[in-house]
Amino acid sequence: MKFMSSGIRGRFEFSTGSLTLPHRFASLISHIFQGSRVIHHLCGKARRFWLVHAQKGYVSRQLSIRQGKCHQCGTCCNLLFTCPMLTKTGQCLVYSVCRPQSCKIFPIDQRDVDEVQLYGKQCGFKFRKEYLLVEKNDQLQ
C-alpha cells in the first residue's frame, strides 16, 4: 500500500511476540486518533476484551508483575461509558458477586494505568519498571 507510511505499515505486520494483529490494529487506531479520548477509551476496551478472552498467557504474566492495590475510586468503571452496576456513591453492586473478568483483572498493563490518568486520577496499581523496559525492547525487535 503506497499511501501508508512505513511506520504505519510496520504496525500491521504479524508479530512472533505477545502482540497479535488485533492488538496492533487497536494500537494503530489509538495512535491515529490520539487526540480523541473517546477513540482512545474504545480501543482500550476492545484491547482489554481481546486480552482477557484470547491472550490469557499475556494477562497472567502482566498480573504477576503488577504491584499495588485498588483505590476503589471507580474511574476504571467510567472509561468510555459508566458501568450500569456502579452506584451514585461509586460502589460496585456486583463487586463480590459476579464481576466480569475484565473488571476483576483491571489494569492489565501500563496502558490501562495511563488511561486512568487521562481522567486526572491516579490508579493504585503500577508495573515494575525493569520489566517494562525489557518488554518494550522485545517489541522493538
Cell numbers linked to 111: 496502558
Note whether residue 79 is domain-resident: yes
Note whether residue 1 is domain-resident: no
- Would residue 38 count as lying in a domain? yes
**Separation CA 77–CA 83 (nearest Å):** 6
Q: What integer pLDDT is reported at residue 72 of this predicted model?
A: 80
In a domain, 125, yes or no: yes
Give which of 15, 32, 16, 26 is closest to 49, Cα–Cα.
Answer: 26
Write out pLDDT tens, residues 32-61: 656 667 777 888 888 898 999 999 999 999
- Does the N-terminal peptide bond of residue 100 adopt cis geometry, omega within 30 degrees of 0? no
Q: What distance in Å separates the CA atoms of residue 81 and residue 41, rounded to the nearest whole number? A: 9
| 100: containing domain | 6-140
Contacts of 107 (CB under 8 A, 6+ apart): 66, 76, 113, 115, 116, 123, 125
As for how many domains the chain has, the answer is: 1
| Residue 128, domain member (yes or no) | yes
Residue 73 covered by a domain = yes
**Cβ atoms 46, 11 nearer than 8 A:** no
pLDDT at 5: 39
Please state the pTM of the whole predicted model: 0.64
> Could you tell me the sign of the dihedral formed by the alpha carbons of 7, 8, 9, 13, in that order?
positive
- Write down the pLDDT at residue 128: 79
Q: What is the DSSP string of 94-108?
A: TTTT---HHHHT---
**How many residues are present in the chain?**
141
Q: Quick check: is 21 in a domain?
A: yes
The stretches in the chain having pLDDT less than 50 are: 1-16
